[in-house]
């Protein structure tokens, strides 16, 4: 059936591209096969050379020029997604994938999914278009699908531009080859599944995203923020609290009602809710708990979306043991694909860098050795800005804190007296301060070294009382472990000579002991304000403001900061 052409994109697009004949909204035009119309190759070449497509929401694609050349040049700049003037099944599958981008926390509008879907449907139903118009639509599908696959695999924003030390360049796909193979073998949707991140956390996060989007459509009650509610109190909003906690999964739907009394299972449900939101689990509904209870579900959806974006930055290390620290959670997990307890071989609390001045960076490293009963080699900035002022007030400060002045940080370095000349040499950077092994040592009984430009490592601490706190950003950037002996036993598990007893003795010595790992242990220092644990999401405060920075970058649109 002949129908009038309805241009679903900008009416002036062809003129902008220098096309010889504009497509009229009033006059139907002849359908032409790609091989019969030289304007197809001319239009596709021009689109590839200019990296600009006026039909698209985000018209510029300079970062995909090589991919477009790789797609079209081998076929002499012929159509990829149409045959005989009609869309191929692969074209429909590709647009279906774009329409489903939101399930991956990507925006279908960024890929012009709805407009491409409408246009393909119209062409399939008999809308007559000429070769240049088919070329424009063909290129639009290619650009959109290239963007989608790249975004799904490594994210939209280059993490290095947000001070995240993950190199996604090495993980980028040969997109032209991938798309060509997907078209040739009619495996568009299978290709989409293959390029998704392979972290188990990613699949769980997608499931929770769908659940929370459904929750966001409901009219859920919000307990009014008022006076602190303690277990056993009468609470007039107990019914609303019960309804909300059932919806969030913290309270079983068949839990017995408590009327206006805040007690029993309702208290335990609040404790579960508190645990999932990084709060103290005392069951008391105070200001912080009320704030979390009244956070809009739409905000949680957005947190999950940002979390999925960050997971796409991570390197592929799912088939080997891995240590992961999530900074906002103040927790470390050692993951082992062979471990029966849902891959979690070890879990402990950590202390991370101060939010205001000493933020712990996000990056990937490899633990290569453990040093037990270590010296603490004091960084120059700490020595000058913190220790020298203390020494000026108290000449015995260094000795009372098991510290000494040395020429270098070798274990054999001879301690020097705290004379005025030596103090001046510290300030000038010619001498150093270190802390001797022992119970007062700031690194505790061990440090775990994964060489990196930021000089960040894991270590113990004598200030173990900090692990009882809910918020634990107190360090100068390094990461303090709650249980360094458990960590040492795990990383040395394949060296049977290092028994628990021997490790304990080495950690309580007055001399350092270094043990190299047989195989390096990959480490990821990460930052996300949402994770999924046992199918339940856990939400954390954006202590460093990284969510705000990522949101600002995403709002810029294509081309995202590269």
pLDDT tens for each residue of 16-63 = 333 333 322 332 333 333 344 689 999 999 999 999 999 899 999 999
Q: Which of 175-179, 197-201, 334-338 has the highest mean pLDDT?
A: 175-179
- Residues 5 and 25: their CA atoms lie apart, in Å, by 6
Q: Would you state the pLDDT for residue 41?
A: 94
Share of the chain above pLDDT 70, in %: 93
Residue 206, domain member (yes or no): no
Instruction: Give residue 200's pLDDT.
Output: 77
Contacts of 227-231 with C-beta under 8 Å, sequence gap 24+, read 228/284, 228/285, 228/286, 228/287, 229/262, 229/284, 229/285, 230/262, 230/283, 230/284, 231/262, 231/263, 231/267, 231/283, 231/284
Reported as a pLDDT band with limits 50, 70 and 90, residue 339 is confident
Give me the pLDDT at residue 258, please: 84
Query: What is the pLDDT confidence band of residue 558, given thresholds at 50, 70 and 90?
Result: confident
Last residue of a domain, one of 196, 217, 235: 196
Let me know if residue 240 belongs to a domain: no
Are 191 and 335 in a shared domain? no
CA distances from 186 to 154, 178, 182, 283 (A): 23, 12, 6, 55
Residues 523 and 403 occupy one common structural domain: no
Q: For 332-357, what is the mean pLDDT?
A: 90
Same-domain check for residues 427 and 469: no
What was the pLDDT predicted at 225?
83
Instruction: Provide the pLDDT confidence category of residue 521 given band limits of 50, 70 and 90.
Output: very high
39 and 187 share a domain?
Answer: yes
Measured CA to CA in angstroms, residue 556 lies from 64, 110, 259, 380, 546 at distances of 18, 11, 50, 39, 16
The pLDDT tens digits for 178-232 are 999 999 999 999 999 999 998 878 999 999 999 999 999 999 999 988 899 999 9
Beta-bridge partners for 367: 521
Does a structural domain hold residue 224? no
Helix 175-184 crosses helix 65-72 at what angle (to 10 degrees)? Answer: 40
Per DSSP, what are the bridge partners of residue 475?
Answer: 353
Distance, CA of 349 to CA of 352 (rounded, Å): 10
Q: What is the pLDDT of residues 136-172, one digit of tens each?
A: 999 999 999 999 999 999 999 999 999 999 999 989 9
Distance linking the first and last C-alpha atoms of the chain:
46
For residues 437 and 334, what is the distance between their CA atoms, to the nearest angstrom?
A: 27
| 129 and 176 assigned to the same domain | yes
Q: For the chain, what is the domain count?
A: 3
Helix then strand then coil, % of the chain, to nearest 5: 40, 15, 45
3-state secondary structure labels for all residues of 516-538: EEEEEEEEEEECCCEEEECCEEE
Same domain (yes/no): 499, 442: yes
Q: How does the average pLDDT of the chain come out, rounded? A: 90
Does 311 map to a domain? no
| Owning domain of residue 96 | 13-196
Contact status, residue 416 vs residue 425, Cβ threshold 8 Å: no
- pTM of the predicted structure, to 2 decimals: 0.88
């Amino acid at each position: 059936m002949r129908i009038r052409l309805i241009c679903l994109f900008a009416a002036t697009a062809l003129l902008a591209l220098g096309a010889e004949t504009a497509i009229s909204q009033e006059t139907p035009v002849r359908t032409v096969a790609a091989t019969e119309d030289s304007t197809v190759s001319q239009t596709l070449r021009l689109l590839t050379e200019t990296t600009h497509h006026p039909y698209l929401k985000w018209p510029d694609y300079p970062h995909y020029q090589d991919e477009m050349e790789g797609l079209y040049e081998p076929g002499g700049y012929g159509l990829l997604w149409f045959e005989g003037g009609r869309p191929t099944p692969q074209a429909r599958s590709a647009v279906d994938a774009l329409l489903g981008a939101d399930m991956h926390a990507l925006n279908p509008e960024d890929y012009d999914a709805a407009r491409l879907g409408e246009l393909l449907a119209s062409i399939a139903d008999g809308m007559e278009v000429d070769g240049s118009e088919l070329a424009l639509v063909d290129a639009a599908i290619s650009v959109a699908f290239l963007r989608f696959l790249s975004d799904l695999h490594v994210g939209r924003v280059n993490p290095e531009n947000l001070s995240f030390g993950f190199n996604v360049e090495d993980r980028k796909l040969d997109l032209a080859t991938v798309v060509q193979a997907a078209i040739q073998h009619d495996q568009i949707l299978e290709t989409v599944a293959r390029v998704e991140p392979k972290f188990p956390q990613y699949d769980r996060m997608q499931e929770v995203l769908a659940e929370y989007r459904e929750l966001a459509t409901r009219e859920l009650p919000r307990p009014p923020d008022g006076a602190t509610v303690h277990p056993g109190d009468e609470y007039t909003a107990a019914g609303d609290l019960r309804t909300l906690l059932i919806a969030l999964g913290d309270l079983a739907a068949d839990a017995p009602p408590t009327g206006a009394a805040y007690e029993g299972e309702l208290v335990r449900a609040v404790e579960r809710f508190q645990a999932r939101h990084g709060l103290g689990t005392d069951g008391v509904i105070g200001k912080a708990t009320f704030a979390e209870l009244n956070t809009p579900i739409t905000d949680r959806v957005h947190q999950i979306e940002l979390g999925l974006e960050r997971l796409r930055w991570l390197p592929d290390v799912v088939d080997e043991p891995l240590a992961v620290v999530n900074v906002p959670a103040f927790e470390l997990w050692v993951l082992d694909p062979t471990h029966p307890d849902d891959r979690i071989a070890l879990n402990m609390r950590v202390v991370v860098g101060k939010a205001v001045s000493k933020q712990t960076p996000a990056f990937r490293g490899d633990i290569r050795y453990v040093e037990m009963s270590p010296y603490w080699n004091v960084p120059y900035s700490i020595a000058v800005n913190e220790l020298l002022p203390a020494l000026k007030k108290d000449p015995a400060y260094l000795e009372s804190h098991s510290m000494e002045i040395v020429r270098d940080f070798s274990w054999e370095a001879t301690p020097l007296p705290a004379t005025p000349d030596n103090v001046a040499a510290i300030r000038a950077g010619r001498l150093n301060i270190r802390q001797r092994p022992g119970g007062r040592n700031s690194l505790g009984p061990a440090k775990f070294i994964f060489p990196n430009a930021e000089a960040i490592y894991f270590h113990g601490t004598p200030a173990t009382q900090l692990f009882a706190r809910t918020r634990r950003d107190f360090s100068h950037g390094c990461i303090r472990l709650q249980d360094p002996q458990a960590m040492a036993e795990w990383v040395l598990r394949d060296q049977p000579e290092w028994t628990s007893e021997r490790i304990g003795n080495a950690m309580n010595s007055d001399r350092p002991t270094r043990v190299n790992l047989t195989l390096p242990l990959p480490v990821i220092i990460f930052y996300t304000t949402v994770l999924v644990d046992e199918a339940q999401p856990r939400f954390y405060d954006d202590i460093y403001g990284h969510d705000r920075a990522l949101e600002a970058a995403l709002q810029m649109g294509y081309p995202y900061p590269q």
